[in-house]
Amino acid sequence: MGPASEYRRGDGGGRRAGRWRRAALAALITGAVVLPLSAAVRPETPAPPPASLAPLSASTLDEAYAANRANAAEAARMAAAHHDRGRAATDRRLAAPARHLLRFDGRGSGRVTEVLGDLARADRVAVLVPGSDTSLDTYGRFHAAAAALHRQLARQVPAGTHTAVVAWLGYETPGTVSTTVTTTGRAEQAAPRLRTLVADLRAIAGTGARISLLCHSYGSVVCGRSAAGLPVDDIALVGSPGTGADTAADLHTRARVWAARGTDDWVEHVPHLSADLFGTTVGFGTDPVSPAFGARAFAAGDAGHSTYFSPGSTSLTNLARIVLGETKAVTHD
């Protein structure tokens, strides 16, 4: 059945499709607004306020790293005294001499901006923007994704090119099972922070560095809300439920916009709908891998929702090519 007949008056298939869309939208709105889920409230683990830092630049980078490691060490001590062994262990790992923390805040769910590589000398900088359920308590798996990309870039980088990866846990991500994961609220709160990060990276690495945003799942909504006029070169959306925009052009960015979804990713079955209700946008609109969106679709192989950065995967190889500007080498389904 073609597009014209889908909406033809009296067509049973068109009526069924319309009913399905309305039912899906109603369920989405009900889940996000009308029937909020209850969850146990975790007692907050104490932590010091973030370290006071000089304006970030190549010359102050080591000073910032040292101050943030010291802050993480103090957060570990406070968490241990509070008998939160898991948080204390995470903070302790982040305080290790080899870790390069551009920002750190151990309070609440936590905020971390970690650099892998020599940011001050980098020609290519990749920023990982995480999706739901990413916090200090789950930071290990996010760091593993950044480390896998860093190793992949090291294998593929041309001689004379320097790379850095930035793992940006700079906002309070929504829970996968929560009212916030179907709305743009958290993304709107995160967007100014992502813009600030990009400005910091420009101040450190210089205007000549090429910056790519690699946006996973709900992180693609954050990137969508941040994209307009942002001085980045590539925006890659993986496992995306949508960006909140109808088309890539509506992002109002000079960056190349890429999109991929693995064949084993459940997000394929999320309804691509959007509606405004009581001042809240529910749903994220057009599927980014669809031709209607207009992104550069690339191959992600059999990636599942959490495996786009798995070592040796098609998706990771292509993401590294995007970061390195090797656009002709990027493979397509």
User: Do 248 and 295 meet the contact criterion of CB atoms below 8 Å apart?
Assistant: yes
Q: What was the pLDDT predicted at 274? A: 61
Query: What is the pLDDT averaged over residues 168-181?
Result: 86
pLDDT at residue number 178 = 73
Separation of alpha carbons 82 and 312, rounded Å: 40
State the pLDDT at residue 125.
98
Contact 235, 253 (CB under 8 A): yes
Is a pLDDT exceeding 70 seen at residue 137?
yes
- Mean pLDDT of the residues in the chain: 88
Q: How far apart are the C-alpha atoms of 290 and 119, rounded to whole Å? A: 35
CA–CA separation, 227 and 229 (whole Å): 6
Instruction: Give the model's pLDDT for residue 26.
Output: 43
Q: Which two tokens stand for residue 50?
A: 């973030």
User: What percentage of the chain has pLDDT greater than the value 70?
Assistant: 84
Q: Which of 321, 292, 305, 319 is nearest to 263 (CA)?
A: 305
Residue 173 in this model has a pLDDT that exceeds 60:
yes
Instruction: Report residue 193's pLDDT band, with 50, 70 and 90 as the boundaries.
Output: very high
C-alpha to C-alpha distance for 82 and 69, rounded to whole angstroms = 20
Amino acid at 133: D
User: Residue 256: its pLDDT value, please?
Assistant: 98
Predicted structure pTM score:
0.86
> Residue 122: what are its φ and ψ, rounded to 5°?
-70, 135
The tens digit of pLDDT for each residue in 37-60 reads 333 445 689 999 999 999 999 999
- Percentage of the chain modeled with pLDDT above 90: 78
Longest dimension (CA), the chain: 70
Amino acid letter for position 271: P
What DSSP character marks residue 32? Answer: I
pLDDT of 287 reads 95
Tokens 């290990």 -> residue? 140
Q: Which residues pair with 238 in a beta bridge?
A: 216, 260
Decide which of 18 and 122 is more confident. Answer: 122
Cβ atoms of residues 164 and 117 within 8 Å:
yes
> What pLDDT shows up at residue 41?
45
Place 8 in a pLDDT band, splitting at 50, 70 and 90: very low
Mean pLDDT score, 25-32 = 42
**pLDDT band for position 1 (cuts 50, 70, 90):** very low
170 pLDDT tier (thresholds 50, 70, 90): very high
What's the pLDDT score for residue 272?
A: 77
Check whether 120 has a pLDDT greater than 70.
Answer: yes
> Could you give the CA distance from residue 330 to residue 211 in angstroms, rounded to a whole number?
17
**d(Cα 257, Cα 213) in Å, to the nearest integer?**
10
What's the rounded mean pLDDT across residues 228-236?
Answer: 98
Whether the pLDDT of residue 326 is over 50: the answer is yes
At residue 308, the pLDDT reads 98
Is the confidence at residue 61, as pLDDT, over 60?
yes
Residue 103 confidence (pLDDT) above 50: yes
DSSP string, 85-129: HHHHHHHHHHTSTT--EEEEE-STT-EEEEEEE-GGG-SEEEEEE
Asked whether the beta carbons of 299 and 259 are under 8 A apart, the reply is no
Residue of 197, 218, 186 lying closest to 114 (CA atoms): 197
H runs (alpha helix) in the chain: 3-6, 12-29, 61-81, 85-94, 139-156, 185-205, 219-226, 314-323
pLDDT digits (tens, 9 = 90+) for 236-290: 999 999 999 999 999 999 999 999 999 999 999 887 766 665 566 667 889 999 9
- Could you give the CA distance from residue 99 to residue 56 in angstroms, rounded to a whole number? 17
CA–centroid distance for 210 within its chain:
18
Closest by CA position to 26, among listed 282, 280, 221: 282
